[in-house]
């Protein structure tokens, strides 16, 4: 217990240090930076602003209330992480739920780790740390991956190393962003699963995605049933794109094919178009057979 009290007192002492304009820390090389950066400091909630790079956009009110009740009873067990901006001004890197819950119950301060980072480093830290969380929905994770690729300029290989996920896993999440926004919202709200989304993304046209999505909701289709529905749609689409034509072979072609086959002693095929034009195909299996057929056609 004495150890915890000492740690808390240390945090408050550092907090006072940070409020002294003569000890403003903006770099790891500044005086007293080693006492602050990487340590737990009690920061005023009013001095902290939310992170514009935060990948999470949905905060469940009920879950937030439960967290607030827990903090009211036990305190903030895991410190948030912030980065230093200007004098006595900080920006969240991770821990927005704890930050919101603390404000909800009227706390004046919150324990925090302080980092010195530029905008790009802060974005990367926020995205990578949040991706590791278990309660992000699949679309939030996919958007975080996309932002790391677009804004941090990471390849999928580098991204895989950075977040400790297989490249195939990252690809599966990012493919969800090809779904119609209505379906993306349905995944975020829990109407359909990521498995449903991964199946629907195999359909190119958004209107057809929506049609099957509505069927999933209406008929309460499982992922396996959705896979069968998508396969059936694709088969029907393939048939409509390439309709089979029942061609009537002209009589002169039927008779001529037989005569050529008899004359050459090899099966000849003839393809004809509606206009009456056609192509004769004469196969051969060796040079000797080719010479035999040539002799029968043109002589020597």
Identify the domain containing residue 40 by its residue range.
2-117
Q: Under a CB-based contact definition with an 8 Å cutoff, are residues 51 and 85 in contact?
A: no
How much is the pLDDT for 89?
82
Q: Which of 96, 121, 151, 227 is flagged as catalytic?
A: 96
**Whether residue 198 sits in one domain with residue 103:** no
The reply to whether 111 and 18 lie within a common domain is: yes
Same domain, 46 and 100: yes
Has residue 159 been placed in a domain?
no
Q: What pTM did the predictor assign? A: 0.48
Helix (H, G, I), strand (E, B) or coil at 41: strand
Based on the fold, state whether residues 294 and 216 are members of the same structural domain. Answer: no
Residues 7 and 113 in one domain: yes
Instruction: Give the chain's domain count.
Output: 3
DSSP state of 45: G
**131 lies in a domain?**
no
Q: Are 212 and 230 in contact (CB under 8 A)?
A: yes
Instruction: Quote the pLDDT of residue 6.
Output: 39
Helices 206-219 and 181-188 cross at an angle (nearest 10°) of 30
In a domain, 113, yes or no: yes
- What is the distance between the alpha carbons of residues 282 and 151, in angstroms, rounded to a whole number? 60
pLDDT, position 220:
92
Q: Do residues 105 and 66 both lie within one domain?
A: yes
Q: Do 258 and 222 share a structural domain?
A: no
- Whether 11 maps to a domain, the answer reads yes
Cα–Cα distance for residue pair 8/18, rounded to 1 Å: 15
Same domain for 25 and 108, yes or no, is yes
How much is the pLDDT for 201? 93
Q: How many CB atoms lie within 10 A of CB 149?
A: 16
The answer to whether residue 225 sits within a structural domain is yes
CA distance 43 to 13: 11
19 and 80 assigned to the same domain: yes
Which of 85, 117, 149 is at the close of a domain?
A: 117
Task: Examine residue 183 and state whether it is found in any structural domain, yes or no.
Answer: no
| 161 belongs to the catalytic site | no
Could you tell me if 200 and 294 lie in one domain? no
- Could you identify the residue written with the tokens 């004469």? 282
CA distance 101 to 65: 7
Claim to verify: residue 51 and residue 103 sit in the same structural domain: yes
| Positions of the chain with pLDDT under 50 | 1-12, 240-246
Assess whether 21 and 67 both reside in one domain.
yes
- In a domain? residue 126: no
Measured distance CA(151)–CA(41) in Å, rounded: 30
Instruction: Give the pLDDT confidence of 96-112 residue by residue, as tens digits.
Output: 889 999 999 999 999 98
**Is residue 71 situated within a structural domain?**
yes
Give the strand pairing for 269-272 and 109-115. unpaired
Which among 201, 216, 238 is the end of a domain?
Answer: 238
Alpha-carbon Rg of the chain, whole angstroms? 34
With contact defined as beta carbons under 8 Å apart, do 139 and 188 qualify? yes
CATH number at residue 90: 3.90.1530.10
- Give the domain-ending residue among 117, 132, 152: 117
93 phi and psi angles, rounded to 5 deg: -105, -45
């Amino acid at each position: 217990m004495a150890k915890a009290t000492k740690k808390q007192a240390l945090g408050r002492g550092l907090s006072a240090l940070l409020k002294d304009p003569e000890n403003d820390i903006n770099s790891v090389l500044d005086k007293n930076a080693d006492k602050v950066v990487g340590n737990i400091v009690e920061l005023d909630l009013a001095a902290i602003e939310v992170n514009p790079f935060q990948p999470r956009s949905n905060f469940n009110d009920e879950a937030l209330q439960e967290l607030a009740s827990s903090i009211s009873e036990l305190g903030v067990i895991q410190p948030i992480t912030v980065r230093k901006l200007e004098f006595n001004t900080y920006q969240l890197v991770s821990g927005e739920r704890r930050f919101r819950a603390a404000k909800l119950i009227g706390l004046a301060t919150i324990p925090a780790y302080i980092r010195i980072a530029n905008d790009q480093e802060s974005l990367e830290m926020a995205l990578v740390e949040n991706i590791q969380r278990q309660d992000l929905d699949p679309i939030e994770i996919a958007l975080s991956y996309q932002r790391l690729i677009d804004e941090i300029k990471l390849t999928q290989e580098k991204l895989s190393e950075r977040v400790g996920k297989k490249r195939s896993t990252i690809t599966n999440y990012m493919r969800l962003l090809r779904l119609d926004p209505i379906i993306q919202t349905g995944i975020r709200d829990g109407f359909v699963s990521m498995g449903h989304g991964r199946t629907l993304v195999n359909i190119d046209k958004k209107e057809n995605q929506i049609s099957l999505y509505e069927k999933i909701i209406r008929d309460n289709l499982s992922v396996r049933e959705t896979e069968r529905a998508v396969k059936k749609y694709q088969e029907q689409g393939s048939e409509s794109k390439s309709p089979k034509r029942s061609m009537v072979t002209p009589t002169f072609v039927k008779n001529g094919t037989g005569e050529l086959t008899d004359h050459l002693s090899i099966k000849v095929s003839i393809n004809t178009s509606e206009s009456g034009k056609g192509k004769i195909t004469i196969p051969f299996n060796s040079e000797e057979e080719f010479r035999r057929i040539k002799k029968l056609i043109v002589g020597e």
